[in-house]
Structure 1
C-alpha cells in the first residue's frame, strides 16, 4: 500500500490552507503553482505564489523541497537520519532607495520571523535601462527541516507570511 512521504503530506497541507486563503477567505490571489520532480537530482519541490488581494505589487512564494536523501531515507526507513523538507519563502518587491529600504526590510522581517530564518536580499535591474527602481528578491529560508509534527504550525506560518506581505507593501 502507498504511504505518502513527509513531502506529500506537507504539500497537501500547505496547498489546502493557501487555497482556503484564496477561495474562502479572499485574502490572497494565487498567481502561480509548481509541483516538480527533478529527475537530474531526484528531488521534489512544490511552490505556490500569491499576492494580497488587490495588492499585486508584492508577491510571496512558498517553496517546499525534499532532497533525494530525505525521500530515500524515508522510503527505505533508514535509521538515525534527520528527515524532512526544506522551507523557503521568497518575496519580490520593487524598491527605489536601496540603502534605506533594504535596511527597513531587514529590520521588519527579522522582527516578524525572529531567529528562525536566514534572510537574504538580492537586487536586480534591466541592463541599459535607467535604474530608477530595483527588483528586490527577499528570501526567508528556515534553518530546520519540517516534518509532519509541524502541520499544526502551518496556519501561524501563513499568518506571518500575510503579515510580511502587508509590511512589505507599506515600505
Structure 2
C-alpha cells in the first residue's frame, strides 16, 4: 500500500486548514496555490498565498519544501533523525518609510514568533517610476524541520500567521 510522504501529509494538512479559513470561516482569501516538483534537483515545494478577507494589500505565503535528501531518506527508511520539511513564511507589504517601518516589522515579528527563526526583509521598487513606496518581501524561515508530529499545531500556527498579518497591516 502507498504510504504518503511527510511532505504530502503536511501539504494536505496545510491546504485543509487554509481552505477552511477561506471557505468556512471567511477570515482569508486565497490568491494562489503552487504544488511543484523540481525534477532537476528532485525536490518538492508547496506554496499557498492568501490575504486577510478585509485587507487585500498585504499577502502571506506559506512555503513548505522537501529536499531530495529528505524524500529519499524517508522512502528508503534511512535512519536519519533529521528528516522532514522546511517551513517558511513570506509576507509582501508596501512601505513608505523603510528606516522606521522595517525596524517596527522586525520587532513585531520577533514578538509573535519564537527565537528559532531567520528573518530577512528585501526592499524593491520599480525603476523609472516616482518612488513613493517600496515593496517589502518579509521572509520568516524556521530553523527546525517539521514532520507529522507538528500537524496538531497547524491551527495555532495559522492563528499566529493571521496575527502577523493583522499586526503588519497596522505598521
TM range (shorter): over 0.9
SS in 2 for 1:115: coil
Whole-Å separation in 2 of the counterparts to 1:63 and 1:79: 26
Whole-Å separation in 1 of the counterparts to 2:40 and 2:80: 26
Q: Normalising to structure 2: TM-score of the pair?
A: 0.98
Is 1:138 aligned with 2:138? Answer: yes
Match of 1:4 in 2: 4
> Which segments of 5 or more consecutive residues in structure 2 lack a partner in the other structure?
none
SS in 2 for 1:41: coil
Match of 1:62 in 2: 62
> Which segments of 5 or more consecutive residues in structure 1 lack a partner in the other structure?
none
Whether contact under 8 Å (2:73, 2:80) holds in the other structure is: no
Task: Trace 1:1-171 onto structure 2 (pairs within 5 A).
Answer: 1-171=1-171
Query: 1:46-88, CA deviations, whole angstroms, 9 ceiling, x for partnerless residues?
Result: 0000000021010000000000000000000011341000000
Calculate the aligned-residue CA RMSD, in Å: 0.7
Q: Normalising to structure 1: TM-score of the pair?
A: 0.98
Q: Which runs of 4+ in 1 moved over 2 A?
A: none
Whole-Å separation in 1 of the counterparts to 2:3 and 2:100: 50
